[in-house]
Amino acid sequence: MTERSVFRASDLIRSATFGLRSRKLRAALSAAAVAIGIAAVVGVLGITRSSESALLAEIDRTGTNMLVVTNGQSLSGQETELPATAPGMIGRTAGVTAVAPTAELTGYSVFRTDKMPGYATNGLDLRACGPGLLAAVGGALRAGAFRAATGRYPLAVLGYQAAVSLGIARPGERFWAAGPSGGGAWLTAAGILSPVPLAPELDTSVLVGFPAAAALFGYDGHPSRIYVRTVTDQTAQAAALLAPAAWPDHPEQVQVSQPSAALTARLAVQNSSTTLFLGLGAIAILAGGLGIANVMVISVLERRGEIGLRRALGAARGHVGAQFITEAVLLSALGGASGIAIGAAVVTGVAKAHGWAVLLPADSLWGSLGVAVAVGALAGCYPALRAARLAPAQALRGTG
């Protein structure tokens, strides 16, 4: 004798979408605010992740196991000498896999011709190096050869920026290395490097081999900057050992740095600005939720007749409430889905423009949809409660 009123889930969805379909413009407008918020969040996350991916790929490629040993007592930006024994000692330190010493030839400048006055400078350094440098810093050649330039001939490899400054586009061109006392030597470009992210000082350097440096510029065998590669998970331990190894008498004068730390710091900076934008997106979503709540409250007032009819047809209070909450959730989810689509389109456009890989973190997409649904459910609570509490007799009379 006790039949209970039943509202099938499929009928609930149908009734809720019917409510939305019969007020299309209003539904679209109230979903728009949520869409904007979600689009902002997806866009910010996607753009950050895509640009990070470029940075992460760079870190991956260059590795985090490189250390640089310099003399910490440098004067006016010029590198100063380390003991000549340093490279050998470092090479025997535990965890070290490669050592590439270089020496800045202080006082030398590099010009296109020998007609430049002696006091002129252009920010380019002349640097002596060994054949292992390119591998140790993870550098690549844009053109020409590297190893051939590290012998005793007057050949040089140009850093990327140095080649641009000198106007040298291909190997084979000659340029002038001016000495501090008016002398100098003609060098021939043998190769040009790509930018080296972990050793940006090489970009503005002209590299010559140790034998040539000794012959042409009086290089004395003291390195000033030593690039060291270590076993990746022993980098920290090796870093602690490098100073005493490089200069046993004055380890306090030796500075050991890890260039990849700068790249990881850039990631951290990006992440902190992302948080700000995500906060703004969250505020937009909140405003969207309030909009939906507002529209639903109006909807309950307008649809008193429908509510009364549904109660007369056998709807329980909960059924009416469920219908309105479902409408709010659908509305918000609709906004969320279009927001994801807009955000994804923006990310794709921006990433393509910068040449990044398009990365849309899946968890952020599902997360946004989840947030939209939760916002809809919250926004629908109060209107649904009002609809459910409406006395059927009063609802039917309200429009009569």
Partner 1 sequence: MTFSAAAPSADGSAGVSAFFPVLELDRVSKSYPGTPGALRDVSLTVHGGELIAITGPSGSGKSTLVHLMAALDRPTTGEIRITGQPVARLGDRALAGLRAYRIGMVFQQFFLMDQLTAIENVATGLLYRGIPAAARRRAAAGLLCRIGLAHRMRHKAGQLSGGERQRVAIARAVVGEPAIVIADEPTGNLDSASGATVMRLLTQLNAEGTTVVIVTHDPAVAAAAHRQVTIRDGQVHPGTPAQPATAEGTP
Q: How near is the Cβ of 387 to partner 1 at its closest, in Å?
A: 14
Q: How near is the Cβ of 46 to partner 1 at its closest, in Å?
A: 39
Q: Say if residues 136 and 98 touch (Cβ distance below 8 Å).
A: yes
Interior CA angle at 350 toward 348 and 356, to 5°? 80
Choose between 141 and 301: whose C-beta lies nearer to partner 1: 301
Could you write out the three-class secondary structure of 99-166? EEEEEECCCCEEECCCCCCCCCCCCCEEEEECCCHHHHHCCCEEEECCHHHHCCCCEEEECHHHHHHH
Choose between 1 and 120: whose C-beta lies nearer to partner 1: 1
> Looking only at Cα atoms, what is the longest distance across the chain?
114
Choose between 4 and 115: whose C-beta lies nearer to partner 1: 4
Choose between 177 and 315: whose C-beta lies nearer to partner 1: 315
Q: How near is the Cβ of 271 to partner 1 at its closest, in Å?
A: 50
**Residue whose C-alpha is closest to residue 173's, from 83, 241, 261, 113:** 113
Choose between 49 and 304: whose C-beta lies nearer to partner 1: 304
Q: How near is the Cβ of 23 to partner 1 at its closest, in Å?
A: 10
Choose between 313 and 362: whose C-beta lies nearer to partner 1: 313
Phi–psi pair at 229, nearest 5 degrees: -105, 140
Tell me the torsion sign for CA atoms 73, 75, 79, 83. negative
Q: Say if residues 160 and 250 touch (Cβ distance below 8 Å).
A: no
Q: Say if residues 165 and 196 touch (Cβ distance below 8 Å).
A: no
Choose between 208 and 390: whose C-beta lies nearer to partner 1: 390
- Which residues lie near partner 1 (CB under 8 A)? 1-8, 10-11, 14-15, 18, 21-22, 305-306, 308-319, 391-393, 396-397, 399-400
Q: How near is the Cβ of 19 to partner 1 at its closest, in Å?
A: 10
Choose between 251 and 392: whose C-beta lies nearer to partner 1: 392
User: What's the gap between Cα 291 and its chain centre?
Assistant: 35
CA–CA gap between residue 291 and residue 303 (Å, rounded): 18
Q: How near is the Cβ of 21 to partner 1 at its closest, in Å?
A: 8
**Dihedral angle of Cα 370, 374, 379, 383, to the nearest 10 degrees:** 110
Could you count the other beta carbons within 10 Å of the beta carbon of residue 173?
15
Measured distance between the N- and C-terminal CA atoms of the chain, rounded to whole angstroms: 33
Tell me the torsion sign for CA atoms 249, 136, 149, 119. negative
CA–CA gap between residue 7 and residue 224 (Å, rounded): 82
The tokens for 340 are 């994801």
Q: How near is the Cβ of 17 to partner 1 at its closest, in Å?
A: 12
Q: How near is the Cβ of 25 to partner 1 at its closest, in Å?
A: 15
- 284-296 burial by CB neighbour count: b if 16+ within 10 A, else e? bbbebbebbbebb
Choose between 236 and 393: whose C-beta lies nearer to partner 1: 393
Q: How near is the Cβ of 325 to partner 1 at its closest, in Å?
A: 17
Choose between 211 and 392: whose C-beta lies nearer to partner 1: 392
Q: How near is the Cβ of 324 to partner 1 at its closest, in Å?
A: 16
Using left for φ > 0, alpha for ψ between -120 and 50, and beta otherwise, residue 290 falls in alpha
Strand pairing of 174-178 and 141-144? unpaired
